């Protein structure tokens, strides 16, 4: 719903095009009739920003695994079926690659009905795989971590692999803009170690102002990524000891000049930080998939999960210096075990088999 899925689609498209494939991108929300997609997005955004308890209830009902009959998003996805099939007839692709759960429900349903005759290769972007990602009609699932791939295999019986998150290459190499950001942060923070606070593309989160103030009092320079939320940025600009940023074009450079990321969604900013060698601490996650993802990252050891301000400061102290920092960096980078685009190409050509949760095959 935000910018994360678009970023994954763009990077996958770049890699596949570089390998000689022709790539067509389509937004499943645009395929819904009568402006319904825009309404769904607006409703989600309003719920997360203003009624988080309501979104938590929706997530519990529609997304969280459970026993017995449960409501799902397949009927909504089905409304986009005819437009997707028309696009498939026009473009004649070798595969359809969902990077968003609603699209995965759509391709799975059409594959199960025999109406989509090319593979559905799902790129699962969440650490905690909720049930709207899962449809037995899809052919392959490519996940960000082995635990997610194992969940998919258990739930669907379909091939799954864990090549790792899809992140642009500039996050995985030394950032040339880091030196410039070092100078900027040193001038603002007066030598205090800088830590990023992520609020996503929409500048959404719980208690962001309070968290920024607390970190400033603890001796850090909080650098808040406000996304496109100009109101949040204006409020933070009035806070002493805090640096507020809007949409940052050189995020790899800024990450290279900071000591850690405080994350609330386990989304694209978090995996970009892991690729850049920036330790991640989850704190005050947004409800639903954010909370589930932050907890999962903590459980598998690629990030810390702080449940209160004292745990947050302790986690940042460990993440910004010494052996704790090196362990965090190594754990995060271990996720990047393969190339998702290569596995998409394998599935397209019928050469993908087995459940790969790393470089090797562990089941079928």
Q: How far apart are CA 165 and CA 279, in angstroms?
A: 16
In this structure, the answer to whether residues 142 and 10 fall within a common structural domain is yes
Alpha helices for the chain (secondary structure H): 4-18, 28-31, 36-50, 52-62, 74-78, 81-91, 101-113, 146-156, 178-189, 208-217, 230-237, 251-256, 268-275, 289-299, 309-319, 322-333, 340-348
Largest distance between two CA atoms of the chain: 63
* pTM of the model as a whole: 0.91
Neighbour tally for 38: CB within 10 Å: 12
**What's residue 44's pLDDT?**
74
In this structure, the answer to whether residues 153 and 235 fall within a common structural domain is no
In this structure, the answer to whether residues 16 and 157 fall within a common structural domain is yes
Q: Convert 161-194 to b/e letters by CB count within 10 Å (16 or more is b).
A: bbbbbbbbebbbeebebbeebbeebeeebeebbb
**What's residue 353's pLDDT?**
54
Q: How far apart are CA 353 and CA 364, in angstroms?
A: 7
Note the pLDDT tens digit of each residue in 259-274.
Answer: 999 999 999 999 999 9
24-33, 196-205, 211-220, 225-234: the lowest-pLDDT one: 196-205
Average pLDDT, the chain: 89
In this structure, the answer to whether residues 317 and 186 fall within a common structural domain is yes
The one-character DSSP state at 131 is: G
Is 265 inside a domain boundary?
A: yes
In this structure, the answer to whether residues 14 and 143 fall within a common structural domain is yes
**What's residue 87's pLDDT?**
96
**What's residue 66's pLDDT?**
66
What DSSP string describes 316-352?
A: HHHHTSHHHHHHHHHHHHTT--S-HHHHHHHHHTT--
Is 364 inside a domain boundary?
A: no
Taking 90 as the threshold, does the pLDDT of residue 299 lie above it? yes
The predicted model gives 128-142 an average pLDDT of 94
Q: Read off φ and ψ for residue 167, nearest 5 degrees.
A: -135, 140
Element holding 194 (H helix, E strand): strand 194-198
**What's residue 363's pLDDT?**
32
Is 260 inside a domain boundary?
A: yes
In this structure, the answer to whether residues 43 and 163 fall within a common structural domain is yes
In this structure, the answer to whether residues 116 and 223 fall within a common structural domain is no
pLDDT confidence of 206, banded at 50, 70, 90? confident
In this structure, the answer to whether residues 276 and 341 fall within a common structural domain is no
In this structure, the answer to whether residues 136 and 19 fall within a common structural domain is yes
Is 108 inside a domain boundary?
A: yes
In this structure, the answer to whether residues 31 and 144 fall within a common structural domain is yes
Q: Convert 295-312 to b/e letters by CB count within 10 Å (16 or more is b).
A: bbbbebebbbbbeebeeb
What would you report as the CA-atom Rg of the chain, rounded to the nearest whole angstrom?
Answer: 20
Is 363 inside a domain boundary?
A: no
The predicted model gives 144-155 an average pLDDT of 95
Q: At 139, is the secondary structure helix, strand, or coil?
A: coil
Cα angle vertex 234, ends 228, 239, to 5°? 130
Taking 50 as the threshold, does the pLDDT of residue 358 lie above it? no
Neighbour tally for 2: CB within 10 Å: 20
In this structure, the answer to whether residues 105 and 71 fall within a common structural domain is yes
Q: How far apart are CA 70 and CA 67, in angstroms?
A: 8
* pLDDT higher at 350 or 218: 218
Q: Read off φ and ψ for residue 60, nearest 5 degrees.
A: -60, -40
In this structure, the answer to whether residues 146 and 71 fall within a common structural domain is yes
Note the pLDDT tens digit of each residue in 73-102.
Answer: 778 888 999 999 999 999 999 999 999 999
CA-CA-CA-CA torsion for 172, 153, 357, 6, nearest 10 degrees? -10
CATH number at residue 261: 3.40.50.2000
**What's residue 357's pLDDT?**
43
**What's residue 360's pLDDT?**
37
Which residues, including other chains, have CB under 8 Å from residue 260's CB and lie 6 or more apart? Answer: 195, 196, 278, 279, 280, 281, 316, 319, 320
Residues 269 and 257: beta-carbon distance below 8 Å: no
Is 39 inside a domain boundary?
A: yes
Taking 90 as the threshold, does the pLDDT of residue 64 lie above it? no
Taking 80 as the threshold, does the pLDDT of residue 294 lie above it? yes
Taking 60 as the threshold, does the pLDDT of residue 359 lie above it? no
Query: Which domain does 176 fall in, by range?
Result: 169-333
**What's residue 70's pLDDT?**
61
Note the pLDDT tens digit of each residue in 312-330.
Answer: 999 999 999 888 899 999 9
Report the domain count for the chain.
2
Pick the closest to residue 203 from 261, 242, 251, 244 (CA basis): 244
**What's residue 354's pLDDT?**
47
The predicted model gives 146-161 an average pLDDT of 94
Is 359 inside a domain boundary?
A: no
Q: How far apart are CA 319 and CA 184, in angstroms?
A: 22
Give 222: exposed, middle or buried? Use CB within 10 Å, 0-12, 13-18, 19+: buried
Note the pLDDT tens digit of each residue in 10-59.
Answer: 999 999 999 999 999 999 999 999 888 888 888 777 777 777 777 788 77
Give the neighbor-by-neighbor strand order of the sheet with 121-123: 121-123, 140-142, 160-161
Taking 60 as the threshold, does the pLDDT of residue 364 lie above it? no
The predicted model gives 55-66 an average pLDDT of 76
**What's residue 205's pLDDT?**
84
């Amino acid at each position: 719903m935000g910018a994360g899925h678009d970023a994954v689609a763009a990077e996958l498209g770049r890699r596949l095009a570089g390998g000689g494939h022709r790539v067509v991108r389509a937004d499943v929300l645009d395929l819904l009739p009568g402006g319904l997609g825009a309404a769904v997005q607006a409703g989600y955004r309003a719920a997360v920003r203003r009624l988080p308890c309501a979104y938590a209830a929706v997530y519990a009902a529609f997304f969280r695994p459970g026993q017995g009959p449960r409501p799902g998003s397949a009927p909504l996805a089905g409304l986009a079926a005819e437009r997707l099939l028309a696009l498939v007839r026009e473009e004649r692709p070798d595969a359809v690659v969902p990077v968003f759960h609603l699209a995965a429900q759509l391709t799975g349903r059409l594959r199960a009905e025999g109406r989509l005759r090319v593979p559905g290769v799902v790129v699962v972007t969440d650490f905690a795989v909720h049930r709207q990602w899962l449809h037995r009609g899809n052919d392959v699932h490519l996940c960000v971590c082995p635990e997610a791939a194992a969940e998919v295999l258990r739930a669907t019986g379909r091939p799954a692999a864990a090549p790792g998150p899809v992140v642009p290459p500039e996050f995985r190499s030394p950032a040339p803009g880091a030196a410039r950001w070092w100078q900027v942060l040193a001038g603002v923070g007066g030598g205090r170690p800088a830590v990023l606070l992520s609020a996503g593309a929409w500048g959404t989160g719980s208690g962001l102002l309070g968290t920024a103030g607390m970190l400033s009092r603890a001796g850090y320079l909080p650098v808040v990524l406000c996304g496109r939320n100009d109101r949040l940025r204006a409020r933070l600009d009035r806070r002493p000891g805090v640096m507020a940023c809007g949409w940052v074009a050189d995020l790899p450079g800024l990450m290279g000049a900071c000591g850690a990321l405080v994350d609330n969604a386990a989304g694209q900013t978090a995996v970009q930080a892991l690729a850049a060698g920036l330790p991640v601490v989850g704190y005050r996650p947004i409800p639903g998939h954010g909370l589930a993802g932050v907890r999962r990252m903590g459980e598998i050891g690629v990030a810390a999960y702080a449940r209160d301000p004292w745990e947050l400061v302790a986690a940042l102290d460990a993440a910004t210096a010494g052996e704790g920092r090196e362990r965090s960096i190594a754990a995060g980078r271990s996720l990047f075990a393969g190339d998702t685009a290569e596995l998409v190409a394998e599935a397209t050509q019928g050469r993908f088999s087995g459940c790969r949760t790393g470089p090797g095959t562990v089941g079928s």
